[in-house]
Amino acid sequence: MGSCDGAETCELVGLYLLSQLEDLGINVGLYRHDGLAVTNKTPRQVEIIKKKMCSIFWNNGLNITIEANKKVVDFLDVTLNLNTGTYKPYKKPNDIVRYIHAHSNHPPVIIKNLVQGTEKRLSNNSANAKIFEEAASTYNAALKQNGHTKQLSFVGNKSSEINDNVANTTLNETTDKTSQQRATKGAGHTRKRRITWFNPPFDKSVATNIGKKFFTLLSACFPRDHKLHKIINRNTIKLSYSCMTNVKNIITNHNKAILKSKENQNSTEKLCNCRIKNECPLEGKCLQKCVVYQATIKQKKKPEQVDTYIGITENHFKTRYNQHKSSFRLSHRKFDTTLSERIWNLKENKKEFALSWKIMEKSNAFSTSTKKCNLCLLEKYYIISKKPSLKKRKELLGTCMHRDRRSHLLAHACAPHSQHKQTNDPDEIDCFEKSS
């Protein structure tokens, strides 16, 4: 856990381990790296099962901590009690319940459904109304502190309703069997629409009705007689506002950036590994990471004719620079980038030129926590504002290469060894454009 694909990897490993635990005769549930099992075996038999489980994990190169023969357990956000057959909400002792303020800069639908969502979660985690009332006091106080006036109330529990209706369902099981089969058969032929979501950030200071204008534009650009109307219409395109970064995160990130810059100034980190320092493309700072860079071509006989290229790399700039040099030198990589294509064009026409490099800005690549890639967004910003002559406008519509790279790494790890692509290019998936 904690890596870019930690949750997905944990679920895959968990499913594999669950398949090996099937023969132990116990009911096992798993959420990420937390598991829970229940059985009616004797304490001695439970200890034997515990040793077998430890052996299975050990054979797979994993360690596990097991607490056996417990009647009351805290699992995720629920406390389960086998002695009384009840369950109740659970939170860690030092956890502080926090809610957004009633007048916060959030989409109205989020603030409106905040209390309702809290009620539903607490009700589902409470076996009865008495347990709910005991747990709700903490949450009511937190809601009141943040300007929410409505009090939480118990809304019932679907699981208890299901248990109450088990007998009636059993009596009618034979009668309803045929109708259920027909319904299942019919449902199997129903195809769901592929929905594409547009998530503009919400801000109360913006007076423009973004949603209305977006759908008006959608109807104008893709009318019923348009060839793409079947896949781009109001039924397949939906809008939902996203939240802006909160003030606490903005301040925290700002402080981190300042402290990190001071640490870099005081550190002895190597910034250049060029053998001949005078030939460093960035004047002794070629080992910078996560940068937006610019390449400038000036023809010696026509100094007024300047070509510019904007690029990004998550890796060291020196690694990306060596890839560019390789595309300038090897004919089969001539069309790797629009920059290499332009260099080859000048060389074939025997025109002398000078090539210079500079860092435009540094930023963070795709993060699995924020689901954003500031590096790719920054590149698009510079393409729009600087209008480089060697960059195509269609790249503004391209997807994030760093997000795709993380998905590729997970798929690569799960694929058979024979399907793994052999490559010596450490940045090939990351930042090498495809016919850009």
Q: What is the 3-state secondary structure (H, E, C) of the chain?
A: CCCCCHHHHHHHHHHHHHHHCHHHCCEEEEECCEEEEECCCCHHHHHHHHHHHHHHHHHCCCCCCCCCCCCEEEECCEEEECCCCEEEECCCCCCCCCCCCCCCCCCHHHHHCHHHHHHHHHHHCCCCHHHHHHHHHHHHHHHHHCCCCCCCCCCCCHHHHHHHCHHHHHHCHHHHHHHHHHHHHHHHCCCCCCCEEECCECCCCCCCCHHHHHHHHHHHHCCCCCCCCCCCCCCCEEECCECCCCHHHHHHHHHHHHHHHHHHHHCCCCCCCCCCHHHCCCCCCCCCEEEEEEEEEEECCCCCCEEEEEEEEEEEHHHHHHHHHHHHHCHHHCCCCHHHHHHHHHHHCCCCEEEEEEEEEECCCCECCCCECHHHHHHHHHHHHHCCCCCCHHHHHCCCHHHHHHHHHHHHHHCCHHHCCCCCCCCHHHHCCCCC
Q: Is the pLDDT of residue 301 over 90?
A: no
Q: How far is CA 11 from the centre of its chain?
A: 15
Q: How many CA atoms lie within 13 A of 173 on its CB side?
A: 7
Q: How many CA atoms lie within 13 A of 397 on its CB side?
A: 3
φ, ψ (nearest 5 deg) of residue 87:
-145, 155
pLDDT 10s digits, 93-104: 888 898 999 998
Pull the structure tokens for residue 275.
């053998």
> Locate tokens 């781009």: which residue?
232
Confidence of residue 348 (pLDDT cuts 50, 70, 90): very high
Whether the Cβ atoms of residue 312 and residue 375 lie closer than 8 Å to each other: yes
CA-to-CA distance for 329 and 390, rounded, in angstroms? 19
What is the residue type of 148? Answer: H
CA-to-CA distance for 386 and 391, rounded, in angstroms? 10
pLDDT 10s digits, 152-190: 999 875 554 544 443 344 334 433 444 555 455 555 567
Confidence of residue 361 (pLDDT cuts 50, 70, 90): very high
- Of residues 247 and 415, the one with the higher pLDDT is 247
φ, ψ (nearest 5 deg) of residue 359:
-90, 125
Q: Is the pLDDT of residue 358 over 90?
A: yes
Whether the Cβ atoms of residue 79 and residue 73 lie closer than 8 Å to each other: yes
pLDDT of residue 3: 61
CA-to-CA distance for 397 and 376, rounded, in angstroms? 11
Mean pLDDT confidence for 361-369: 84
Mean pLDDT confidence for 354-368: 89
pLDDT 10s digits, 215-274: 999 999 999 999 999 999 999 999 999 888 888 888 998 898 888 777 766 666 788 888
